[in-house]
Chains A and B, each alone.
Chain A
């Protein structure tokens, strides 16, 4: 499967985190919350007008801003 940005994932899909682009300032925060390369995440929904995206990971829900989610590279399953 090819690598895409998390923002390109359709709601309801489960994908696997591959890498972060280097410019993502948030990566230390994300990894501390368990969003690491190799982990499965499910995109629950995205808010309108490039609002935040809601993810399910390790059994909990978290939201990220669209601009940050863009820097998370994933592969489909």
Chain B
């Protein structure tokens, strides 16, 4: 946040229902953007407080503490360090707390109380507390913490939000003052003395008030990473001084037989547990009573039933992607066609009209066509994530996935790759660890997506004989399945290899909360879908449009006088195809396939229409049948033999399994990794795989005497 408008910060643990509250407060008045340099979403929204008042709400990533270990936490910690120095300070902080899980959630709250910013405690999920027939004494909690207000609420059941709005109104009118001072951390004298040089440093050079100086000293002793967030705020020599002070203090603390690495947490939990007890807020829970989630988990994460149910669910999801998406995809296709026709009738013929129709409209169409699949998949992913099931999938699959450097949560995005890499790559956002997420993104395009299907279908239909093997298996079917296997196995091998070379940003950890199962909030679900969909169309759309225009230019120029459909071979794209022929000849490809390879950079399935154009197949009627005949009839003028053999077909298919040929994927990888480095790396390694894979198949096949 760089503007100086007054705002309120929304903070809380993951799974505390923070996002649901943000959505309830702001509706669709939100702006989602990425933090500079990384892909953690920053959400800023305007909340309607009724009575004609509004306030800006900044939704910070969910964290368990202010220690900057993971990417999310670094964002939060750096932001908080700015506040502590009086920069961009929010008018108040809403600390969202899961009421059914008080002590752990209050850990972050007690850290926020140190900041001298009014804190409103949003006691969420009160419905669960009530269901368990428990009660929380709100007055006691309020006086224990010394917060501005304690608002009991349930975002799920939509109640309590008015009280929160009212409390925000009061805060923004600046007429609410907490009568009590906020709960302060008790630091034993012995430790306080050791901390003193550091607290003095903070008081002197950053002008912290004494209490804040003490707790900050404690934090940098506990975690060295907490010191790094000071780097933008102090000169290098001061930082060195601070590091020296820290090292000295750590030595003293360890000498007194105290583990400095757990010091802050120990003191805070001692405080929280003691205070909760003295205010009679601690709930005594019988550990032997099974919760509903535990009962459900007996089946859903069962050693045998668990994975089987998961596979069944996956099957259901993909089935629905293919069946539900096909109709809206047809509509979009039709709509794009109509828009194209409208432009054709509205504009005079010429290069500019061609650019609009074949470049812009077709380019935008090539991205919109993915939207139904993306939305359907995103819908299921959000559903599984919000219900708590995704965490269970990660739990079940982690043993296998971590062996190749991936995370249990990589499974679903990778599986989505069978439909389309783009929603899969977007779904990797649920993986917290940067390295595991990056590897998942990098290997995801190797999962055979639905755009490869037309290529496989064409080649198998035309050149793989319909034979039955072993009585029951169809050779064509086996080859198809092999293509899917080839991509998947290679993906896992590549993951294992590159995980050795990618440096980890932030520690890899699998301390994953398994939240209780809950029914997701429909409004929240659809809002997220809408925002994600918009983000995809706008961001990827820009890049795709640019590439489409370049490709259109290559395929359309130089312009021939005679407007025959054959002119593509004289275009720049055609010239490039002929130019690269010597390079691709060892794979069994001629220049026509070469042009196909170039045009399918836009999207793989384009190769079918390119070949159709090259063979001058009538576009009306059944494309695939026409082109199948044309391919079979193509004779090599030198040898007099058919140009396409089953071996060439196999080589083409292997090439399409591996090749990086989807500009929408690059656009999205560029977005998700915030650099061109990774899409470029992806393109290079996939092209190398494709080339050498096909080379091996074609040359190896010839040596073995196949044709």
Task: Identify A58's interface contact among B101, B293, B294, B301, CB under 8 A.
Answer: B101
Q: How far does the alpha carbon of A56 sit from the alpha carbon of B660 in the complex, in Å?
A: 45
Task: Identify B510's interface contact among A32, A49, A63, CB under 8 A.
Answer: A63
Contacting pair A56 B395 (CB below 8 A): no
Task: Identify A61's interface contact among B262, B265, B266, B514, CB under 8 A.
Answer: B514
Q: How far does the alpha carbon of A30 sit from the alpha carbon of B398 in the complex, in Å?
A: 19
In the complex with contacts A14-B287, A36-B269, A50-B399 CB distance below 8 A: yes
Residues of B within 8 A of A20 (CB): 262
Stretch from B63-71, B412-420, B625-633 forming part of the interface with A:
B63-71
A35-63 vs B, Cβ < 8 Å mask (1 yes, 0 no): 01100101011011111101010111111
Indicate if B556 sits at the interface (CB-CB under 8 A): no
Residues of A within 8 A of B65 (CB): 32
Residues of B within 8 A of A36 (CB): 262, 265-266, 269
Q: How far does the alpha carbon of A12 sit from the alpha carbon of B261 in the complex, in Å?
A: 30
B270-300 vs A, Cβ < 8 Å mask (1 yes, 0 no): 0000000000000101010000011001000
B488 to nearest A CB, angstroms? 19
Q: How far does the alpha carbon of A36 sit from the alpha carbon of B64 in the complex, in Å?
A: 15
- Determine the residue in chain B with the shortest Cβ distance to A19: B259
Q: How far does the alpha carbon of A65 sit from the alpha carbon of B507 in the complex, in Å?
A: 14
B386-425 vs A, Cβ < 8 Å mask (1 yes, 0 no): 0000010001101110100000100000000000000000
Residues of A within 8 A of B293 (CB): 61
Residues of A within 8 A of B666 (CB): none
In the complex with contacts A50-B399, A63-B395, A30-B511 CB distance below 8 A: yes
In the complex with contacts A44-B294, A48-B399, A49-B400, A33-B514 CB distance below 8 A: no
Contacting pair A58 B399 (CB below 8 A): no
Q: How far does the alpha carbon of A48 sit from the alpha carbon of B400 in the complex, in Å?
A: 10
Task: Identify A32's interface contact among B265, B395, B516, CB under 8 A.
Answer: B265
- Determine the residue in chain B with the shortest Cβ distance to A55: B514
Indicate if A25 sits at the interface (CB-CB under 8 A): yes
Contacting pair B513 A62 (CB below 8 A): yes
Contacting pair A49 B512 (CB below 8 A): no
Task: Identify A34's interface contact among B67, B107, B391, B512, CB under 8 A.
Answer: B107
Residues of A within 8 A of B398 (CB): 47, 51-52, 65
Q: How far does the alpha carbon of A61 sit from the alpha carbon of B512 in the complex, in Å?
A: 9
B163-194 vs A, Cβ < 8 Å mask (1 yes, 0 no): 00000000000000000000000000000000
Q: How far does the alpha carbon of A50 sit from the alpha carbon of B222 in the complex, in Å?
A: 31
Residues of B within 8 A of A58 (CB): 101, 103-104
Contacting pair A68 B265 (CB below 8 A): no
Contacting pair B104 A33 (CB below 8 A): yes
Q: How far does the alpha carbon of A28 sit from the alpha carbon of B103 in the complex, in Å?
A: 17
A15 to nearest B CB, angstroms? 12
Indicate if A64 sits at the interface (CB-CB under 8 A): yes
B44-81 vs A, Cβ < 8 Å mask (1 yes, 0 no): 00000000000000000000110101000000000000
Residues of A within 8 A of B294 (CB): 44
Residues of A within 8 A of B262 (CB): 20, 27-28, 31, 36-37
Q: How far does the alpha carbon of A20 sit from the alpha carbon of B69 in the complex, in Å?
A: 19
B222 to nearest A CB, angstroms? 7
In the complex with contacts A47-B398, A49-B399, A56-B287, A64-B265 CB distance below 8 A: no
Residues of A within 8 A of B514 (CB): 54, 61-63
Q: How far does the alpha carbon of A32 sit from the alpha carbon of B222 in the complex, in Å?
A: 11
Contacting pair A34 B103 (CB below 8 A): yes
Residues of B within 8 A of A34 (CB): 103-104, 107, 269
Q: How far does the alpha carbon of A56 sit from the alpha carbon of B289 in the complex, in Å?
A: 12
Indicate if B303 sits at the interface (CB-CB under 8 A): yes
- Determine the residue in chain B with the shortest Cβ distance to A68: B510
Most interface-central of A45, A56, A58, A63 (chain B CB within 10 A): A63
B439-457 vs A, Cβ < 8 Å mask (1 yes, 0 no): 0000000000000000000
Contacting pair A28 B223 (CB below 8 A): yes
- Determine the residue in chain A with the shortest Cβ distance to B396: A47
Residues of A within 8 A of B287 (CB): 14, 40, 42, 56
Contacting pair B399 A47 (CB below 8 A): yes
A69 to nearest B CB, angstroms? 10
Contacting pair B395 A64 (CB below 8 A): no
Contacting pair A52 B399 (CB below 8 A): yes
Q: How far does the alpha carbon of A31 sit from the alpha carbon of B272 in the complex, in Å?
A: 13
Indicate if B11 sits at the interface (CB-CB under 8 A): no
Indicate if B509 sits at the interface (CB-CB under 8 A): yes
- Determine the residue in chain B with the shortest Cβ distance to A48: B303
A27 to nearest B CB, angstroms? 6
Q: How far does the alpha carbon of A66 sit from the alpha carbon of B398 in the complex, in Å?
A: 10
Indicate if B321 sits at the interface (CB-CB under 8 A): no
- Determine the residue in chain B with the shortest Cβ distance to A31: B265
Residues of A within 8 A of B269 (CB): 31, 34, 36
Q: How far does the alpha carbon of A8 sit from the alpha carbon of B293 in the complex, in Å?
A: 25
Residues of B within 8 A of A66 (CB): 399
Residues of A within 8 A of B396 (CB): 47, 51
- A-B contacts, 8 listed (Cβ < 8 Å): A26-B509, A28-B261, A29-B509, A33-B64, A47-B396, A47-B398, A49-B400, A52-B510
Give 4 closest A-B pairs by Cβ, nearest first: A51-B399, A31-B265, A61-B514, A32-B65
Q: Which residues of B contact A (CB under 8 A)?
A: 64-65, 67, 69, 100-101, 103-104, 107, 222-223, 261-262, 265-266, 269, 283, 285, 287, 293-294, 297, 301, 303, 391, 395-396, 398-400, 402, 408, 507, 509-516
Sample of 5 further A-B pairs with CB below 8 A, known A26-B509, A33-B104, A52-B399 = A31-B265, A37-B262, A52-B398, A61-B513, A63-B514
